[in-house]
Structures are given as C-alpha cells and as structure tokens.
Structure 1
C-alpha cells in the first residue's frame, strides 16, 4: 500500500484534518525561507495534537546539524527530511546525533539525478521537481529505478491516482496540491487521499 505524506501543516485545523484522514506521515517545515515555516514551539504544540500513529517529519534546508538533532531528540519530529544540498558527510554526522530515520530529497532533472538518489545512504529518498514549489518532473525518468521512493512535486487531486497506479511509489508527498490560496484545504486533503487509494486499486 502506498504511504501518504501531507506536508507543510501549520495550523491546528490541519492536524485535525490529518487525524481524520490518517496519513502515514505529516510534515512540519522548518526551512527559514519557506512560507510554510513553523517555529519549534508551534511544531511541538501541533505534534501534541497529532494522532501518534502518524509520523511527524521535520523538513530542513541546509540547517545546522545541532538544530536538527535537537528537534529530533526532543521528540518534536519522528523523522528528518533533508531538502537542501546536504551531502553524505552531513548524513553521517546526523546519524551520530540521532537514530531517527532520514529522508533525503533530490531534485530530478535527468537520469543522472535518479542514479545519485539511488546511491544515497539515507533511509529513504524523496524525488521532487523543486524545493516546495509544487513543480512536477518527467516521471518517465523513473521507469528503471530500483529503489523505493517518495514521489513529490506537482502532485494533486487530479494526478495522484495515475501517479500511484503507474509508478507504484513507496509513498507520495503533497503540499501545494492540497492548498487553496496558500492554506491547507480539508476538502482537497480528503480528495487527495481518496485519489491515492483509488490508484492502488487500479
């Protein structure tokens, strides 16, 4: 069964919707330049309301290792997603700080990008078209991929069913595609989850 990650949650209403929909993961964005950024205190508040069966993923962009490690070890997030230029050395140092699972995001423009993603030492890889802009990439580049992956970038209620049916990703990750005017939309969140489940049945 394809797992679902609803990313960029920032309000109590978002958490309440997630608790109803029961995704496998939700994401808190800590990247300073993101419009979806939440403070550490806000993330802790939201995490306290989250169904414990749903894993909270902290999304970071070239952040200080100590900051990332502290959030992980305080229990505010259950997993870390590295969405910047973090390299293998960074991942190794992070593993020395925490034993929580690591997702490394890769922007996919060509076959070489897919190869680099497959070689990552991270626990999971996430394949994206950008850095949170909701931009899709050419899914044909994934025809030969050998490693399970999170699919992100440009996913929405209209294409999630086909993405799951055609690519069989380990998980799908959506943020922009479940928003209206930059705010999470409960109806779109519900429709997205339904589309993923429909794609699995095809």
Structure 2
C-alpha cells in the first residue's frame, strides 16, 4: 500500500507492506478500496501496489525501533519506506528514490532477473507483480524479456549467481524502478 502526499518537493509515497506481519490474505486484499483508503488517511491517493512477491533470499533490516503498524481493510501492514515519486503517476523505467534502510541478499545459485540500462547500469528484480498480469508467476520470469517494452538500448536477462549479491541501502537511499508489468527492480551500485 502506498499513501501518496504532495509536498514542496513533489509527490512522496509512504510504503506499507505485510512483511513480516502476515501473508496478505487475498480475500481481504481483493476488497480494498483505494479511494476510501486515501480519504480515511488524508492522502492525495492510495495505490494498491500488489499482489507482489519477493525474490531475494533474505531481507536484513533493523526492526528494533518503533514500528508503525496500520490496518487497511483488515490487513495489518508496517511502514517500511518512503518514496520520492517522479510524478503522481510514475511511468515504467523511471527510477524513484526509496528510503528503506535495508539490505536485500541473494544467495549463490539463485536465479536473478536483471534489466541492463543503456548506460550500463544493472537493475535486479526485487519483486514480481500481479498488478498488470494476475497470472504472472515465478516460472514466467526467465522469458519475461520477450513481453517487456524496453527503452532503446535496454535489455533483460536471467542469470544464476556464482557469488552472493547484496543490495545494501541501509545507509543511503535506493534507486528503484518498475517495468511495464510493474515488477520492481533495485539498482546495483
């Protein structure tokens, strides 16, 4: 769930998700009303950013401080991050700055799915999404490049890791973008 507010620096979303509280029950998720949630929380918009499935092996995050838990339509969600949005309706392949203070860990032997941008940057899929395609599954991801409308000079690949991959945004903001199916990718520094 993203609650969007417009401030002096443009739109910003507060991100809530069910990690590590619950598995986001589908029957409750399907009944969420974004407009009602936005009104209830005084937000310019509420974006139902799921269902979405994590792809990393572990998430390292300091969970010891004060945790803000909000209930949306019977689903408990924890505040996890803030996102400086490129616009009120961000397009695909445009990076957004995310303050999430976490490390995503992908173990050796794990298949990762990557976008390679025109400047040589590498973006690793952190979640696949069923927002646009409700039937998208993990088994579809290796061949996803044939379905994406990539910008000129970009490519998509699946590869098996030889070594551990750590995307460490514990002390600095992450750069995250989505493809045209709303799968999310983290930039690898």
TM-score (norm 2): 0.25
Structure having the larger proportion of residues in strand: 2
| Structure ranking higher on relative contact order (CA contacts 8 Å, 6+ apart) | 2
Structure having the larger proportion of residues in helix: 1
Larger Rg: 2
TM-score (norm 1): 0.24
